[in-house]
Amino acid sequence: MTIANFPTLSKQLNQWQSHLNDYGPRLTANSTHKESINWLKEEIQKLDYAITSDVHYLNFWEATAYSVRSVNQEIPLSSYFPYSGLTSDTGITAPLIFADTNVSQDVRGKIPVFIMDISKVGTATFNSEEIMHPMNILAIAINALAAAKTKGAVGAIFVWENLSPELSGKEILPFQNEFMDIPAVWTNASQIDTLREMADSKTPVTLTLVGNYVENTETESFFVKIPGTNPDNHESLLLTTHTDGPNAIEENGPVALLTILKYLKDSRTTFPQTLIVAFVSGHFQQRQMGTDNAKATGRWLDKFPELWDGQGPHLKAKFALTLEHLGCLHYYDNQTHQFVQTSTPQENYAYLNTDNETSHLLEKMITTFDDIDDITYLDPTQAAYFGEGMPIYKRGIPNLAMITMPEWLFLEPLPFTQPDMQLMRAQIDTAIAILKAISQSA
């Protein structure tokens, strides 16, 4: 039985996703993120589920305006560098200098320009193949900005090169750094010649990046706990996602979990195990959530060991399912850096960490959905583990994490950053089938 058997639920899914789209960027602890969390809680409470809240704190940064201009002209920008730094309303005025990412030049008192050639620094090996993705520049950009600050730079400009205009517009990257206290912005390759002319002529420019930086700002994770039907069963099933993201895909996992909660109520589906449905915050400020193995979900797991670690009277997690980025179609840059939109699904990575018998059960069952989805199984011991399933795996919990990684994942909302609802429904059906199969397995 699928959610298509419940016409009102299918309609409700569309409405919920549309509502989520309207929020715009829900970056960790910003106003729209907080509003969306309150909305999710209200919808869950309408279904008569109890909520356990977990308020935690981080140092919050946001940009409200940014620009680069000389006396005679303004440089069109793509976006800001999150958690870089802030200026006064009048900005910082200094000459430009083109620099390598090791910052071997003398940048003291200057604004270095870093060219991020996506075809070079944006290419990495993943699952035995070379993939090009804007995310691959995260560490390089963070290290370059940190080095520039150490060497006395007063700001920085990063340039996307060999990336289409569609993908180089308003990327919310990087997102793994804490506040760096040096302002930086992004532009695209069409501005390189103008920037070189300014640097060669020693024309000073004014970099302005205004916004807010507030320490100890609260954000909220929460979960629903549905007791199992067998009082002798001391196991739990975990269903998790994160709530923060810049667009409708990143992250619409909360809409999927909300839909599953309504499905369970409408269909009167129960499990012998206790079901924990977790909505965690902090994905876009991972460094503030704890160690490298923490992320948002790791911080939450460590806060509530009674839900999963099996120590003493604690529940023992039988399995965890993590859902992220549902309904992605394959939109990408081709070899000539032209943006291509297709009607086929984006490759859906399934990180699978269970015993062999359970793995075979899940693979056989998921195959029935593969005519709609495009699923590739990954061994977390052999491939880089992206997403919020990683800390679950690191804590030894049998798990399956479903995550797509489109090149446009970190863009602010654009017309094409919307989920395909038929694909999203199929992926939710898959998730429901997985929970049922695991619950009934030995």
- Per-residue H/E/C for 108-134: CCCEEEEEEECCCCCEEEECCEEEECH
> Any residues with CB less than 8 A from the CB of 86 and at least 6 apart, and which?
61, 63, 183, 209, 210, 211, 212, 213
Alpha-carbon dihedral of residues 127, 331, 161, 72, nearest 10 degrees? -150
Residue 184, strand partner residues: 156
pLDDT band (50, 70, 90) for residue 364: confident
Instruction: Indicate the SS3 state at residue 140.
Output: helix
Q: Percent helix, strand and coil across the chain, each rounded to 5?
A: 30, 30, 40
pLDDT in tens, 106-139: 999 999 999 999 988 888 888 777 888 999 999 9
Q: Among the residues of 268-386, which ranges form H helices?
A: 295-303, 356-366
Mean pLDDT of 262-278: 96
- Per-residue H/E/C for 253-282: HHHHHHHHHHHHHHHCCCCCCEEEEEEECC
pLDDT band (50, 70, 90) for residue 3: confident
State pTM to two decimals.
0.95
Query: Which helix (H) or strand (E) covers residue 196, if one does?
Result: helix 192-200
State how far the Cα of 385 lies from the Cα of 277, in Å rounded to an integer: 22
Terminal CA-CA length for the chain: 22
pLDDT in tens, 236-246: 999 999 999 99
Q: What is the pLDDT of residue 370?
A: 67
Mean pLDDT of 334-362: 92
Q: What is the pLDDT of residue 402?
A: 95
Q: Tally Cβ neighbours within 10 Å of residue 285.
A: 25
Alpha-carbon dihedral of residues 55, 59, 64, 65, nearest 10 degrees? -160
